């Protein structure tokens, strides 16, 4: 089992579009969306748009069918399956919503590969209308991060995942994203981690403008084929490094077994071998 957690953003990372814009545009609500956009937060606006589509007679099945047509590069599908086959733990951290993400991943047979989806909650109410809510209820309190939108700080989510991973013995993160919201979690990665920003998108630009702010190693990608190739290279490299370190530690431990010790002496801890 690889001690690697691969974290994917969803919009413009797993799928090659923004799922919110895709649904609004495909179902003919672009004009209203653009008119209301300056008046309310994006997350709240999407809930308002679902109300509008419902009032126009659009069913939840029509929304789902629309989502199933969202572009998803076959190389990204292959990358997800290969990373899982290598023993990586896969998670989604996205500012989309649960219905959109689950519908698309189920359609492509990918939902089972992810251990966790962190996103804005959503559900279909008794009237058949899709309701979308903020991940963080900013109407009652602020999450306190100036880098992130009011409804979600991805950095706080990554911090929680890191704390859980340290308990479970997971070691290395690979983070893939494209947007401004992916910058905060990228800043929380360590020297042993990797961040994969999509080239010429906001996250990539923020990293280029302030490269010294990041500790993680940066590997840019432009399309699904590059995403697949680079991700699998990083996974293979990480597994190889872990095996090498484990072999070195095992070798050192074996040497200790030849050193005479009194019965009261404890066995030495495994040496931490520098990279």
> Tokens 């200790």 belong to which residue?
256
Instruction: Check if 11 is active-site.
Output: yes
Catalytic residue (choose from 9, 18, 178, 182):
9
Instruction: Check if 47 is active-site.
Output: no
Q: Read off the tokens for 144.
A: 């306190």
* Number of neighbouring beta carbons within 10 Å of residue 141: 8
Q: Read off the tokens for 152.
A: 């979600």
Sheet-wide strand order for 172-177: 114-120, 89-97, 4-8, 172-177, 194-197, 217-218
The CA–CA distances, whole Å, from 113 to 166, 223, 245, 256 equal: 21, 21, 28, 41
- Asked if 73 and 22 touch (Cβ cutoff 8 Å), the reply is no
* HEC sequence for 113-167: HEEEEEEECEEECCCCCEEECCCCCCCCCCCCCCCCCCCCCHHHHHHHHHHHHHH
Residues with a known catalytic role = 9, 11
């Amino acid at each position: 089992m690889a001690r690697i957690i691969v974290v994917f953003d969803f919009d413009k990372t797993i799928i090659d579009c923004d799922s919110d814009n895709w649904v609004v545009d495909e179902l003919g609500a672009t004009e209203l969306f653009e008119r209301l956009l300056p008046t309310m937060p994006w997350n709240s606006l999407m809930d308002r748009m679902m109300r509008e589509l419902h009032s126009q007679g659009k069913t939840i099945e029509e929304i789902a069918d629309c989502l199933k047509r969202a572009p998803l590069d076959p190389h990204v599908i292959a990358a997800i399956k290969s990373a899982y086959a290598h023993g990586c733990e896969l998670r989604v951290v996205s500012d989309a919503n649960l219905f959109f993400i689950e519908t698309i991943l189920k359609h492509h047979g990918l939902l089972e590969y992810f251990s966790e989806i962190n996103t804005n909650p959503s559900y279909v109410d008794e009237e058949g209308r899709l309701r979308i809510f903020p991940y963080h209820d900013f109407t009652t309190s602020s999450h306190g991060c100036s880098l992130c939108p009011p409804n979600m700080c991805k950095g706080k989510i990554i911090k929680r995942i890191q704390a859980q991973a340290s308990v479970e013995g997971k070691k290395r993160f690979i983070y893939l994203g494209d947007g401004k919201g992916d910058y905060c979690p990228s800043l929380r990665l360590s020297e042993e981690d990797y961040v994969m920003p999509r080239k010429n998108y906001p996250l990539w630009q923020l990293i280029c403008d302030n490269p010294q702010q990041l500790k993680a190693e940066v590997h840019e990608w432009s399309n699904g084929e590059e995403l697949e190739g680079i991700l699998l290279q990083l996974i293979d490299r990480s597994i190889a490094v872990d095996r090498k370190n484990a072999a070195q530690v095992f070798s050192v431990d074996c040497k200790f077994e030849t050193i005479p010790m009194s019965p009261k002496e404890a066995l030495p801890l495994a040496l931490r071998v520098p990279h």
